[in-house]
Amino acid sequence: MSANTFDLAAAAFTEMVRQGFHPDFPTGTEEQVERIRSDGQVTPGGQVRDLRELLWSSIDNDTSRDLDHVEWAERVEGGIRVRVGIADVSESVAKNSPIDHHALDQTKTVYTAVRNFPMIPNELSTDLTSLNQGVDRAAVVTEYVVDPQGCLQQQSIYRALVHNCAQLAYSKVGPWLEGKAEPDAKIAASAELQAQLRLQDEAARALREERVSQGALEFNRIEADPVVIDGQVKALKTAQHNRATDLIEDFMIGANETMAGLLRAAGRSCIRRVVRSPERWERIVELVGRHGTILPAEPDSAALNAFLRKKRAADAVHYPDLSLAIIKLMGAGEYVVSPGKDAKPLGHFGLAARDYAHSTAPNRRFADLVTQRLVKAMLDDEPAPYTDAELEAIALRCNLQESAGHKVERAMRKRVAAVAMSGSIGKLFRGVVTGASDKGVYVRVFDPPVEGRVIKGEQGLDVGDTLTVKLLHTDPAHAFIDFGRA
């Protein structure tokens, strides 16, 4: 079978099953969806505020249909008030229902270029529980004031009804905020929306500068974005972070810190997202030392980020490969349970955050749905819906499935890239080593940004080394992209 006729969608399903997922929804799912549809939306009143008159907007990928959050900001005395509305999935999906059992089994939506495997049914995640443009939706709102120093003040959480007035895309908003492009039709048509986005950008940049001053790491990530038409891969283009992606990242970090912090203040247990001190700090020190900077012997995120900022300003062309190597050496994030009385919870090294819990994507991550249920129980002064033992089991399951999901997505990225690069056998590429162990040596080339294995001349290579490689072979069926050291 040629690369051009390889069935990527079928391969994605097979890979899901191979990694232990159960993509098909269980018996009872359709009946539950219909009950949710017939129940209708939450109405305002009591503890549910009506915030539909605000100019809410969402910013996501061009093709996103599962919209988990909307944003709004206003200037107030003491700074900028930010509101992040998060889809109230828990209002529709009851604990221990068929859909909830499936969500716990999967723990996340797995995205591939040709097919997505939703954690909860598309009828919910892209419709009834998605904060789509032009419809009223139930939300859990996280509110905080960003003071002039970029610190979070006056943090609160409450339930509300919201109305997304404008579904926007990173690819359009980012270049406009940066002054590199004209606004798209939606932004151009509304001076109020333009002012709203600029105010959000101002608040986000203040948040980022404060986090960086505390030691948060900034990475300039580059991803391969496949161009898929009618299920066929036509090309690979490079997708980079911009001001819009930074804006949403910074707002979500603020919302996640608020969720975790208020749960801890209330003595409530929760599942936190942590990144421990880097296991391979000595290798990071060695890698940075090649560039003339000496890092402390003990992990120090502030010193590391000062170096990263300096290198990005001095050499923007080669900075992405350096930052990618350090990301790989940092180690993966993980879910852990923080008991309600935990005075010193594990933090997030990369974000320089003490309180951090995933909470802003309940349509696509089970940990976020669990956090939402914990928060609503806190707001209603009710007992927690999970015991600490249940939370421990959920955190373990999320960690296992996150690893499995990454394997699916990585394998499918390689298959897509193998199809796209099948006509480039023999060409030379610059890249950086992203993995080196007894399982093999792996390199990520810069343009297009795809990863493969070095099968010739790999001896002596380690994570962070840069080199030129020749593309030797591609095999989409086995997710192989093979390079030789040139």
* pTM confidence score: 0.87
Alpha helices in 160-242 (DSSP H): 170-177, 185-188, 191-213
pLDDT of residue 220: 64
Q: Do residues 37 and 127 touch, judged by C-beta distance below 8 A?
A: no
pLDDT of residue 343: 67
pLDDT of residue 98: 96
Cα three-residue angle 199-66-175, rounded to 5 degrees: 40
E strand residue ranges, 288-359: 334-338
Token pair 């080339």 in the structure block, residue: 445
399-452 pLDDT tens trace: 999 999 999 998 998 899 999 888 899 999 999 898 888 889 999 888 888 889
Q: Dig out the tokens for 143 from the structure.
A: 């509110």
Cα three-residue angle 124-125-129, rounded to 5 degrees: 65
pLDDT of residue 409: 93
Cα 416 to Cα 92: distance, rounded to the nearest angstrom: 35
Mean pLDDT by 10 residues, the chain (486 residues): 75 96 94 92 79 98 94 97 98 96 97 93 96 96 97 97 97 97 96 98 96 77 71 73 94 96 94 84 90 88 84 74 78 87 73 86 98 97 96 97 94 90 92 88 88 93 91 92 94
Q: Where are the domains of the chain?
A: 3-275+334-416, 281-330, 421-485
Centre a 10 Å sphere on the Cβ of residue 479 and count the other Cβ atoms it contains: 20
Give the Å distances, CA to CA, from 456 to 135, 310, 426, 450. 56, 35, 14, 18
pLDDT of residue 222: 66
Cα 149 to Cα 156: distance, rounded to the nearest angstrom: 19
The domain covering 421-485 belongs, at the CATH homologous superfamily level, to Nucleic acid-binding proteins (2.40.50.140)
Token pair 């990005």 in the structure block, residue: 312
Maximum distance among all alpha carbons in the chain? 68
* 331 CB-contact burial (10 Å; exposed 0-12 / middle 13-18 / buried 19+): middle
Q: Do residues 351 and 343 touch, judged by C-beta distance below 8 A?
A: no
Cα 160 to Cα 85: distance, rounded to the nearest angstrom: 8
Q: Which element (helix H / strand E) includes 140?
A: strand 136-146
Nearest to 362 by CA among 33, 71, 63, 86: 86
pLDDT of residue 3: 58
